[in-house]
Amino acid sequence: MSVFDLNNLDLLGAILSFGLTLIILSFIFGDNLLFRFAIHVFVGVTAGYVAVMTWYNVLLPEIVVPLIGGSQAERFYALLVLVLSSFLFIKAFPRLSGWGNPVVAYLVGVGTATVIGGAVLGTLFPQVLASINLFDIPGLFEKSSPVWMQISNAVVILVGTISVLIFFHFGARSNHGSHPERAAWISAVACIGQIFISITFGVLFAGVYIASMTAFAERMTFTANFILLLFRP
């Protein structure tokens, strides 16, 4: 495939992509005008796209269409949403910002309830149950992996969970007016928790590193292929 096989739009896209990639990579030589220009372009394009998407995907179908052609109930609902949204909008004006407080309170309340409910029922309880199930002795023999491996796995998870929880326990006592200190056994367990936390951060960093390197490799591959495409007959 050569550059002449591309249609105009694809070619334009490829040239823009190639140019912007090089401009972003120019940051290797330090901050410069072109780099800042590219950053502004990205921010502007994203903001514009999000605005258009919000209009066509949210405001138009949720408010405008029901208001114009909806049933009585739909119109009433859309009008209510519009009025409440307006209250939220006028929070931008300091004199009238108080009008938006009930709407914000409603949003925060519902949001908090949703997130907490989801976290408790969707993460906390199932994960606690899963941790308990690790020590389900009859269940251990039903699985294909060796029992000792399952038990050691369960012990590591249990020790990790407890020690990390204890690491975040900051209670301390003062004896005879001395400087308050953690109990010795809490300090010892917290040290183990610290090791688990360090390993977790290391793993997270490795993930971020791999993801970044993948993006870099993809861009470099694209750049190399585009240059080859230009010189291909």
Partner 1 sequence: MSNDIKPNSGTSPENGKEFEKSGEVQKSTTGQSFQDSSSDNETGQEKKTPDWLVDAIPDEKTSDNVAEKSLMQDFQEDVEESADDQSDREVEEKDLPEPVKGEREEDTIEVQAGPLVGVEGVLPVELDPFFIHEPVRRSIKLQVTKTQETQALLLDQMIKGEIESQPEVTQSKAVSNNILRIGIAIFLLVSILLPLSTRLPVTVTPPVSRDSVSANQLIESISDGATVLLTVDYEPGLSAEMDAALASVVDRMMMKDFYLVLVSTVPTGPVQAERLLVLLNQRGGYQYESSENYTNLGYIPGGPIGLLNFAEAPRQVMPYDLDGNAVWYSPPMQTISSISDFNLVVVATENPDRARSWVEQVQPKLGNTPIIMVVSRQAEPLVRPYYGSEPSQIQGLVSGFGGGAFYLSSNAQAGSSSMYWSSINLALIAGGLLMLIGAVMYTGKSLITRKPE
What is the closest distance, in whole angstroms, from the C-beta atom of residue 172 to partner 1 in the complex?
26
Among 39, 98, 209, 230, binds partner 1 (CB under 8 A): 209
Angle, helices 101-118 vs 72-89, to 10°: value is 100
C-alpha closest to that of 74 among 87, 64, 83, 84 = 64
Q: Counting Cβ atoms within 10 Å, is residue 100 exposed (0-12), middle (13-18) or buried (19+)?
A: buried
Is residue 216 a contact point for partner 1 (CB under 8 A)? yes
Q: Taking the CA atoms of 202, 206, 211 and 212 in sequence, report the sign of the dihedral they define.
A: positive
Q: By CB under 8 A, which span of 16-24, 92-100, 131-139, 167-175 interacts with partner 1?
A: 131-139
Is residue 12 a contact point for partner 1 (CB under 8 A)? no
Amino acid at 92: A
Q: Give CA separation, 161 vs 127, 139, 158, 182, in Å.
A: 11, 21, 5, 19
Binding positions for partner 1, 47-106, rule CB under 8 A = 49-50, 53-54, 56-58, 60-61
Q: By CB under 8 A, which span of 82-90, 92-100, 109-117, 190-198 interacts with partner 1?
A: 109-117
- What is the token pair recorded at 67? 């208001």
What is the closest distance, in whole angstroms, from the C-beta atom of residue 191 to partner 1 in the complex?
22
Is residue 165 a contact point for partner 1 (CB under 8 A)? no
Is residue 133 a contact point for partner 1 (CB under 8 A)? yes
Residue with tokens 């400087």: 179
What is the closest distance, in whole angstroms, from the C-beta atom of residue 58 to partner 1 in the complex?
5
Among 5, 104, 200, 232, binds partner 1 (CB under 8 A): 200
Among 19, 48, 118, 146, binds partner 1 (CB under 8 A): 118
C-alpha closest to that of 166 among 185, 152, 149 = 185
What is the closest distance, in whole angstroms, from the C-beta atom of residue 74 to partner 1 in the complex?
11
No. of helices (H) and no. of strands (E), the chain: 9, 0
Is residue 32 a contact point for partner 1 (CB under 8 A)? no
Compute the distance between CA of residue 62 and CA of residue 82 in angstroms, rounded to an integer.
10
Instruction: Name the residues that contact partner 1, by CB under 8 A.
Output: 25, 28-30, 46, 49-50, 53-54, 56-58, 60-61, 110-111, 114-115, 118-119, 121-123, 126-127, 130, 133-134, 139, 200, 203-204, 206-211, 213-221, 224
